[in-house]
Amino acid sequence: MAPQRRGAPKAPEGSGAAERRRPSSTKSVRAPREVQRKWLRTSVLGACAVLAGLLLWSIMGGDDGVTEVLAHRGEILPGRFIEVPCSEDYDSHRRFEGCSPRKCGRGITDTVITRDEAQRIRSIAEKGLSLGGSDGGASILDLHSGALSVGKHFVNLYRYFGDKIQTVFSEEDFRLYRDVRQKVQLTIAQAFGISVSSLYLTKPTFFSRINSTEARTAHDEYWHAHVDKVTYGSFDYTSLLYLSDYLDDFGGGRFVFMEEGANRTVEPRAGRVSFFTSGSENLHRVEKVQWGTRYAVTIAFTCNPDHGIADPVFT
C-alpha cells in the first residue's frame, strides 16, 4: 500500500489556533483594498472640488474668457467703432452694391436713444409680455409677426388675443417703436458709410426678456455662440437696444464678441445701442443671466428688399 501523505495537523476545536491564523491572511488582502478605497475617496473629492471651481468660474463669467470690456455700464459713449476684417459669409448671398458689407465692424453708442425713450420702449415689452411669457428663462415678443412666448410654445398675439390688443398697446407705442427703429437705422448707415434708404428692416426683429429660470426648451437656450448671417440668412447688420442696466437690474447677461484668445464684451445699460455686421467676423453669445431680468430689443437690417418687412401697425 502506498504511503499516505499526512496533512498539517489539525488544531483542536476551541484551541483558537485557526482563528489566530486567519487574521494574518485577511490583513494581507484587506490592506490593498483599504488603499484603493482611500485613493478613490480622494479622487472623488478632488474631482468634486474641480467641478465646484469650474461652476464658480462659469457663474462669475470666466467661461467667456473676456479680456476686454468694449463698453462699461458706467460709461456714456457718444460713439465707439471698431473695424474688423469681413468674413466670407456674404459671398454666398446676393450682394447689393453700396449696402452689402465691405467695411465690417462693431459699434456702441449711448447718445442715440435716451434713457427716457428706453424706459418707454421697455414698457411696451412689459405690457406685451404680460400676456404670456416662456416657462423657461427667455421670452420674446415680435410686434411685426405677432409671435409671443406662451409656456413652451409661441402664439400669434394678434389672433390669439384679438381686440384685447387695443387695450394693451396704444398708437403712441407703435409710433415710438418706429421712431427708435429709424434712429438706429440711421446710426448704422452712418457708421458703415452706406445710404440709409438701402437698408431694410428684416425678421426676426423682437423684444427679449431674460431671467435666471431654467431653460425648458431649445428656444430658451439663448447663450450659445452663433453667427447671425448663418442663423438667419437675411441679416446684414444687427443691432441691440438695451432696456435695462447690467448689475442694477440683472447679473450676468453681458454680450460677448468671441475671438480667439481675446473675447470682448458689452455691458448693457438702458438706452445703449450695440450694432455690428452680421457675419462670422462677429461671432457672439450672451452670458447666462444669473439674477434679475434683462430686457432688450433686437433690430436687424438687410440689403435685400425681398427680405424687408414693414413696421408694425396699430389697428
Catalytic site positions: 294
Contacts 24+ apart (CB under 8 A), 54-58: none
Q: Which three cell numbers stand for residue 48?
A: 468634486
Bridge partner residues of 1 (DSSP): none
Q: Residue with C-alpha cell 449696402?
A: 99
Q: Residue with C-alpha cell 427667455?
A: 138
CA–CA separation, 139 vs 122, rounded Å? 14
